[in-house]
Amino acid sequence: MNTLVMPAADLVAIIVLTAVVYLPRHRRTELVPAFVGVNVGVLAVSMALGSAAASIGLGLGLFGVLSIIRLRSAELSQREIAYYFASLALGLLGGIGVADPALGAGLMALIVLSLVVADHPRLVGRGVRRELVILDRAVPDETRLRAQLEALLGATVVAVDVIRLDLVNDSTHVEVTFRRGELRGPVAAHPVGPRAEVPVR
């Protein structure tokens, strides 16, 4: 029975992390199966390795390999990477087993609680987002660039980081941090998501 305590605690923790914390805040439903699948996969494999008397080093190596594969297969925001690693850590804790189940459950609760606090809207800023925007004109002047981005996004621009200013092809690639309001104008036909490319004329 004791062998099922940590896997059960892991399943509770990943459900709370995804369904209670992540999904209501970010609404990216396509990432929920990824977080849960990775968590349960790591849990199952690490439990199998534990039953085969494999070393903890092998389990940590699995953690690293899975991380590289997932992070190279799709582009994630820094926030999503945090949730992804939390899912991995929960699965690993549940699978390798801890001598004291109370300690293991406490560590899982600590991981979930850390994201509850660190990703809270009051801490990170309600409605603040960072996106890649591509303008189909070269705009070397930052003041003018800010004005165009605010008009495009219908939001207050907090910070602008020009990635590429192409004077030959007349385009500007810019990472913009903005406090989002209701989107309007040309962007309405192009919902702004992570790393969205929004042409402007």
Q: In what order do the strands lie in the sheet with 156-166?
A: 128-135, 171-179, 156-166
Check whether 5 has a pLDDT greater than 70.
yes
Q: What are the residues whose beta carbons fall under 8 Å from the beta carbon of 23, sequence distance 6 or more?
A: 29, 32
- Torsional sign, CA 39, 83, 22, 120: positive
Average pLDDT, the chain: 78
pLDDT band at 191 (very low <50, low <70, confident <90, very high): very low
pLDDT top residue among 137 and 72: 137
Q: Tell whether the model's pLDDT for residue 33 goes beyond 50.
A: yes
Are the CB atoms for 77 and 85 separated by under 8 Å? no
**CA-wise closest residue to 165 among 185, 144, 184, 189:** 144
pLDDT in tens, 104-142: 899 999 999 999 998 887 776 566 777 889 998 899 998
* pLDDT given at position 194: 40
**pLDDT greater than 60 at residue 73:** no
Portion of the chain with pLDDT greater than 90, in percent: 22
Which pTM does this prediction carry? 0.64
Torsion of CA 92, 94, 95, 101, to 10 degrees: 130
Asked if residue 194 lies in contact with residue 75, where contact means CB atoms within 8 angstroms, the answer is yes
- 52 vs 48: CA distance, rounded Å: 6
Q: Which is more confidently placed, 97 or 100?
A: 100
* Residue 175, number of CB atoms within 10 A of its CB: 14
